[in-house]
Amino acid sequence: MGSGFRHRATEREIIDDMTLDAADMDRVLSNLATINRFLGGYATTIRAFEKLVEPGDSVIRVLDVGAGGGDMARRLVEWGRANGRDVRVVTCDLSFAAAAFAAKSLSGLDGASVVQADVLALPFREQSFDVVMCSLFAHHFPTPVVAQFLVAMHAISRRGVIVNDLHRHPLAFAGIWTLTRLFPASPIVRNDGPLSVRRAFVRDDLDELERLTRLRFTVRWRWAFRWQVVIPRDARSESVDA
């Protein structure tokens, strides 16, 4: 790995600006939904979700933290309908613009709701959701902060936590740099996409998070340059795989 990828970058992404206006945020979230669809972002989470929930869970309550435009919520609700399950997803994001976009996008979808909240001060009771997840969210924070909110997410879950995030690798960087220039991505996505890879994780980073949280991680690498991390709530989830 090149020296520029040896450590996590600390440069702030533009999308992390909570004052970003609605028009810019709408375009960014629309672009990210397209990227997720083509690069396996949804499949990485769904495959972990299928293994983490129990066969007897007819109603499955999910919290999606840092959820942006709420596109994962739609896919989880659709998965539930296709599999005879009642999946109810709360989409949570600190950004007012992102929460507004999600509320508009998910309007009329039974089973999906939106809450504006801070991951470091989640307004939910312990074990109030079956599954708590985040996708392309953890890399926005320094490692000690990620450890802090993973512990909080774990506490409010009944089955466990799913983390879907990027693998810091030169090929991943080159791929997203090229992709965001081949299709009409917003200038923010052209900046933040490659930077996200530089802020992302290698396996040693995930091992460090496991040490800091004192939680048990099941880690799988998924195409395209994704980490799938499952943090089971209890020993019954030791066999989780995807």
Q: Both tokens of residue 205? A: 């980073």
Across the range 236-240, mean pLDDT stands at 40
**Cβ(209)–Cβ(189) under 8 Å?**
no
SS (H, E, C) the chain: CCHHHCCCCCCCCHHHCCCCCHHHHHHHHHHHHHHHHHCCHHHHHHHHHHHHCCCCCCEEEEEEECCCCCHHHHHHHHHHHHCCCEEEEEEEECCHHHHHHHHHHCCCCCCEEEEECCHHHCCCCCCCEEEEEEECCHHHCCHHHHHHHHHHHHHCEEEEEEEEEEECCHHHHHHHHHHHHHCCCCHHHHHHHHHHHHHCECHHHHHHHHHHHCCCCEEEEECCCEEEEEEECCHHHCCCCC
Q: Which CATH architecture has domain 3-237?
A: 3-Layer(aba) Sandwich (3.40)
Amino acid identity for residue 58 in this structure:
S
Cα first-last separation, the chain: 27
Specify the pTM: 0.92
Gap between the Cα atoms of 225 and 188, Å rounded: 21
What pLDDT was estimated at residue 40? Answer: 66
**Cβ(230)–Cβ(48) under 8 Å?**
yes
Mean pLDDT across the chain, nearest whole number? Answer: 92
Dihedral sign for Cα 174, 177, 179, 182, please: negative
What pLDDT was estimated at residue 2? Answer: 54
Decide if pLDDT at 177 tops 80.
yes
The C-alpha R_g of the chain, in whole angstroms, comes to 17
Q: Both tokens of residue 45? A: 């989470």
What pLDDT was estimated at residue 58? Answer: 86
- The model's pLDDT over 182-217, given as tens digits with 9 standing for 90+, comes to 888 899 999 999 999 999 999 999 999 999 999 999
Q: Both tokens of residue 43? A: 């499949």
- The model's pLDDT over 4-51, given as tens digits with 9 standing for 90+, comes to 799 999 999 999 998 888 898 888 888 888 877 767 678 999 999 999
* For the chain, domain boundaries: 3-237
